[in-house]
Amino acid sequence: MSDTELSAEQKGSMIKAKRNLTYLLFFSIVMFFAGLTSAYLVSKGSSNYWVNFKMPAPFWWSTGFILISSATIHLALIQARKDHKRSVAPWLLLTLGLGLCFVFSQFKGWGDLLNDGYALVARLKSVNAEYGTDYTIERRGETLVKQGEEYFLPDDTGFEYPLNAEMDESMNSASSYFYVLTYAHFAHVFGGLIALLIMSVKALMGRYGKENHQGLWAGTYYWHFLAGLWVYLLLFLAYVH
């Protein structure tokens, strides 16, 4: 076996090892979020009170930003594979800009939640949105009826037994889980933004081409993964929440 063949074989082994590490990272993140969403479902099923609230619009905006950015970063990878080195950086910089738009929309969504009385740690009585339109509260699967400032079970048609005293000390677990899930995803996005910045600098230096784009490949598929993960979380929170 010649030195050239040995070098090519070693290079192939290194690429395969790096890709396997990338897939392992994806698997570990999937397991992490599977654990969180499973805990969410268990908590919802065992909780005395659960708040169902509308998803703030900025979280839907962020979905558009991250999906478009998933397309733009893939275009950067395509340009590198074609050895169009000068075309890689513009697509990566556009992806970085869209990623920052995703960050802005996430913060806007969290701000809207706080304005409506939803916090990472909050009580049921802190919610100040419009009942029936913006949110409802369930007690062991039964949607409560609000009369004035008091809450009643649906079969309490005479409004004789308000639940406010019982609810006063109850925590808003739904709000807490919403923040935990979206914060956890954001932490991974933050790591992705750092990677995008590094890749953009390397692309401006002409580092990515047909023979050397493994780092770009890993960053691209990590960003694709984050986009898919966000869509899953969004649908979970919108329709299971």
* Class of the CATH-defined domain 18-122+173-239: mainly alpha
Judge contact between 140 and 203, C-beta under 8 A.
no
Q: Which residues of 153-184 are buried (b: 16+ CB within 10 A; e: fewer)?
A: beeeeeeeebbeeebeebebbbbbbbbebbeb
Q: Which residues of 4-35 are buried (b: 16+ CB within 10 A; e: fewer)?
A: eeeeeeeeeeeeeeeeeebeeebeebeeebee
- Residue 63 DSSP one-character state: H
Provide the pLDDT for residue 11. 64
Single-letter amino acid, residue 130 = E
How buried is residue 43: exposed, middle or buried, by Cβ count under 10 Å (0-12/13-18/19+)? middle
Provide the pLDDT for residue 170. 86
Angle at 137 between CA 234 and CA 50, to 5 degrees: 60
Provide the pLDDT for residue 194. 97
CB half-sphere exposure, 50, CA atoms < 13 A: 21
The ranges of the chain with pLDDT < 70 are: 1-12, 241
Provide the pLDDT for residue 2. 41
Provide the pLDDT for residue 241. 62
How buried is residue 240: exposed, middle or buried, by Cβ count under 10 Å (0-12/13-18/19+)? exposed
Rounded Cα distance, 126 and 167, in Å: 11
Provide the pLDDT for residue 128. 84
Rounded Cα distance, 226 and 94, in Å: 17
Single-letter amino acid, residue 203 = A
